[in-house]
Amino acid sequence: MSVQVITGNHAAGYALSAAGEANRTSRGTACGIYPITPQTEIVEYVAKFPFSKGRVVPVESEHSAMAVTIGASIAGARAFTASSSNGLAYMTENIMVAGYYRLPIVMVGVNRTLGPPWNIWADQGDTLMLRDFPWLQLYCEDSQEVLDTTLLAFRLAEDHRILLPALTCMDAFIVSHTQTETTMPDQADVDRYLPDLDLPHRMRYDEARTIGGLAWPHEGLSMRLEIDEAMKRVPDVYQECRQRFSEVFGRDPGDVIQTFGTEDATQILIVTGTMATTAREVVRERRAAGEKIGLVKIKMFRPFPEGALREACATAERVAVLDRNYAAGTGGVFWQDTRAAFQGHRDDLLIQNYLTGLCGEDVTPAVIGDILEDLSERDAAGEPVWMGIDTTKETLQ
């Protein structure tokens, strides 16, 4: 174990490679890779990694990258890849296939604005567009969380009670290209944490069969239900994986939601990713000044941690959901799911949506302050509020 100053991309590349290498005593590792800013350094890292068993296949597109990864996974390899933004959009058909095949693939998504207009900066709209697919989604705040969560994602995805692919996400540049001190686990510890992959429906050379061929409606229905059952098991299995992680690495990879000052808060900010760092500091200062404000960082988006969220907001009267994404025609994606989580449980709770940091805008302490001010002055929730831009005058009628 050593501490190094590295970027989020480096952390992701290291975690994927160490996890792949840990399967060397079984079917090894294999994956398809294709570059796109700002995740290119991840696939460059895995392409250079001297795997003992397996290979990394550079292909001509994201769609093929996932196709190769699916093939590798179904043959029993520990398979992974990475992409971003429009690359994920192009990969989408096969992303869905990986989920319905129940393959424990781990993908790192670097959250970048979908174009046009062309934009390389942070926005979660790309991975959130995959929200209805059978994938686990985990959002991270810094390099350490990226590294730890990526390793955890393999154990969680490969657990026989789950067997679903997992997506680890980080904000473009703010995590992917920012160098901070990060604790790097030794391979031996990764080997201990990630036992050989044992895929129950693995394709074998001597047993020809078809997976995912035509299924009659009732059989299809059955498989959908199995996915729902697996998703429902995730919170418990996650805690087991988190516990085991702490035993092996001596570090908590973090709960599905993480709270700060919620125990007595009447107003709570619900945030994700790097916004959490800034918001936590603002909350710390406000609490020091005596305000009863709390913070919830949502780490796991799929499955959505409804129960934990309700518990964390037990004392809250008002909740602000900060979304670094915009689902056209409604508002923020995290806001929609938060409202659903409280509906019928806490109909008295004021849940207001703030769209902030879209297209890579910097979410500063001043922005968080403006949100808290708006929230405290409200009598009732309203339309999602666009932060940092004039909404009083429409440009084109």
Partner 1 sequence: MIEIRIHGRGGQGGVTLAKLIATSRFLTGQSVQAFGLYAAERSGAPVQAFCRYADEPITNRNLIYEPDHIIVLDPTLISAQISAGLKAGGWILLNTTQAPEEFANDFSHSRIATVDATTIARNNDLGTRSVPIVNTALAGAAGKMLGIPLTEIVAALEHLGFKGTNITAAERAFGEVRLLDSPREPAPLEDFTLPTNTARGHSILDSASMAPPAIETGQWATEQPRRQQMIPPCNHICPAGNNVQGFLDALARDKTDEALEILLRSTPFPSICGRACPAPCMDNCNRIEIDGAVNVRQLERFAGDNGKVTLERRGARDEEVAIVGSGPAGLTAAYHLARLGYGVTVFESAPEIGGLLRAGIPEFRLPDDVVDREIDRILDLGVAVRTNHPVNRPALLELAGNHDAVLVATGQQALRDLQLGMNGVDAVVQGIDFLDHVHHQNVRVDGEDVVVIGGGNTAMDAARSALRLGAESVRVVYRRTRDEMPAIREEIEEALEEGVVIDYLTQPVTLHDEATGGIRRHYTLTCRRMELGEPDASGRRAPQEIPASDFDLACHRIVLALGQSPDLSVFPEGTEVREGTQLLGLLETPVFAIGDLATREGTVAAAIGSGRRSAARIHTVLSGESLPITEHADASRDVEIWKDEVIHADAMKLHLFERQAGTEGESLPVSKRRSTFDEVHMGLETPAEAARCLSCGVCNECDHCVTYCPEGMLKRVGHRLEFDYTYCKGCGVCAAECPRNVIVMSHL
Site residues, partner 1 (CB under 8 A): 5, 38, 116-118, 120, 142, 173-174, 177-181, 274, 277-278, 280-281, 284, 362-366, 388-390, 393, 395-396
Secondary structure of residue 358 in the 3-state scheme:
helix
Six-digit token string for 148? 């730890």
* Shortest CB 276 distance to partner 1, Å: 9
Nearest to 276 by CA among 259, 292, 293: 259
CB closer to partner 1, 5 vs 314: 5
CB 136 within 8 A of CB 166: yes
Strand, coil or helix: 17: helix
Compare residues 181 and 236 and give the one whose CB is closer to partner 1: 181
**Least gap, CB of 112 to partner 1 (angstroms):** 11
Cβ closest to partner 1, residue 26 vs residue 277: 277
* Contact yes or no for 93/54 (Cβ under 8 A): no
Query: Any idea what the Cα angle at residue 84 is, between residues 152 and 92, rounded to 5°?
Result: 90
The contacts found for 206-213 with CB under 8 angstroms, 24 or more apart, are 211/74, 211/101, 212/97, 212/100, 212/101
**Residue 146 or 194: which CB sits closer to partner 1?**
146
Residues 6+ apart with CB under 8 A from 274: 122, 141, 142, 171, 174, 175, 363
* CB 378, CB 347: distance < 8 Å: no
Task: Enter the tokens of residue 111.
Answer: 């959250």
- In whole angstroms, the minimum distance from the beta carbon of 41 to partner 1 comes to 12
Q: Which is nearer to partner 1, 116 or 217 (CB)?
A: 116
CB of 2 to partner 1, least distance (A): 12
Q: CB of 3: closest distance to partner 1 in angstroms?
A: 8
Nearest distance from C-beta of residue 64 to partner 1, angstroms: 26
Whichever of 57 and 271 has its CB closer to partner 1, that residue is: 271
Q: Which distant-in-sequence residues (6+ apart) come within 8 Å of 310 by Cβ?
A: 341, 342, 345, 346
Q: Cβ distance 334 to 88 under 8 Å? A: no
Give whichever of 2 and 210 is closer to partner 1, judged by the CB atom.
2
